Amino acid sequence: MLKHAFLLLNLACLSASLAWSADDPMLGNWKLNAQKSRLIDEMKITNLGGNKYLFDFGGGPPETIVADGTDQPGNSGTTNSTTIVSPNEWRGVRKKNGKPQITGIWTLSKDGKTLHDDFTYFPDNGKPVKIVYLYERRGTGSGFAGDWVSTTAQVDTVYVVQVKPFDGDGLAIVSSADGSTKNIKFDGKDYTNAGSRGSIVSSAQRQDERTIALTDKIGGKVADTQEISVSADSNTLTMTIHIPDRTDPDVLVFEKQ
């Protein structure tokens, strides 16, 4: 439910600098193919007793929340609320400046082995982004408490990213999620992701004409490393995202429009 939104930031920004000349194969309009993509997510929930829980969604320090439906301080200036609707349903809302940023509905299976998450991200501008996750329990645990891993996610929102030249050797990225534009210079230096929630910077290196490697940082710490490549026919862009302490990467596949 109150999952970190870093995956959504990857989708909303397509991350750092993909630019060179006007004939760069990475330039164009790219639409996410959710069926060909693989979205990995892991979250850990610890029952601290007294209706209090420790949530570790990755992408930031764990948060301690009392599940009583009230807004409580969260990471990066947000608030969290968690409501126990029933023994098998929890609902949560993360807010920024009083406005919903993320909502989620968790439904636990009768046997306690799987967890269904109806997740919605609300950008500052643009349409909400919906993702449906199905988690499996890893190891032991009871109820909602435990280590949950999802390798199956369905993106229920059409997502298109436009990549354009900027100022000769730079790049402009226009996101359909919130209508924002990010202008980047490709010189290997850290640049702040304009319009992103939180202090996110990105740096990149060009490996060859069709491949770049980049690093994203939050608060000076590495949040992920990525390889972004374009197919030989220039019709497919693939982003492989490695997150620290996670074995399997996210693989996002975009098709040229």
**For residue 198, is pLDDT > 70?**
no
pLDDT at 17: 39
106 in any annotated domain: yes
**For residue 10, is pLDDT > 70?**
no
Calculate the alpha carbon distances from 99 to 55, 94, 122 in Å.
21, 8, 9
Confidence of residue 220 (pLDDT cuts 50, 70, 90): confident
Please tell me whether residues 186 and 237 are part of one structural domain.
yes
Neighbours of 121 (CB within 10 A): 24
26 in any annotated domain: yes
Residue span of the structural domain in which 166 resides: 14-36+159-256
Please tell me whether residues 151 and 165 are part of one structural domain.
no
Last residue of some domain: 155, 180, 199? Answer: 155
Please tell me whether residues 193 and 218 are part of one structural domain.
yes
pLDDT tens readout for residues 164-177 = 787 777 666 666 65
pLDDT at 240: 92
Please tell me whether residues 52 and 23 are part of one structural domain.
no
8 in any annotated domain: no
Written as one letter, the residue type at 254 is: F
Please tell me whether residues 68 and 171 are part of one structural domain.
no
Last residue of some domain: 155, 179, 211? Answer: 155
Please tell me whether residues 22 and 66 are part of one structural domain.
no
Mean pLDDT over 134-144 rounds to 93
Please tell me whether residues 88 and 193 are part of one structural domain.
no
Please tell me whether residues 19 and 64 are part of one structural domain.
no
**For residue 94, is pLDDT > 90?**
yes
pLDDT at 216: 81
Q: With left for phi above 0 and alpha for psi between -120 and 50, is residue 118 left, alpha or beta?
A: beta
pLDDT tens readout for residues 223-233 = 888 888 999 99
Q: How many domains does the chain have?
A: 2
Please tell me whether residues 231 and 172 are part of one structural domain.
yes
**For residue 143, is pLDDT > 90?**
yes
4 in any annotated domain: no
9 in any annotated domain: no
Please tell me whether residues 119 and 132 are part of one structural domain.
yes
Please tell me whether residues 54 and 148 are part of one structural domain.
yes
Last residue of some domain: 121, 136, 155? Answer: 155
Please tell me whether residues 142 and 166 are part of one structural domain.
no
Rounded to 5 degrees, φ, ψ at 238 are -115, 130
220 in any annotated domain: yes
pLDDT at 119: 92
State pTM to two decimals.
0.67
109 in any annotated domain: yes
Report the CATH number at residue 234. 2.40.128.20
**For residue 43, is pLDDT > 70?**
yes
Beta carbons of 122 and 99 less than 8 angstroms apart: yes
Rounded to 5 degrees, φ, ψ at 140 are -90, 170
84 in any annotated domain: yes
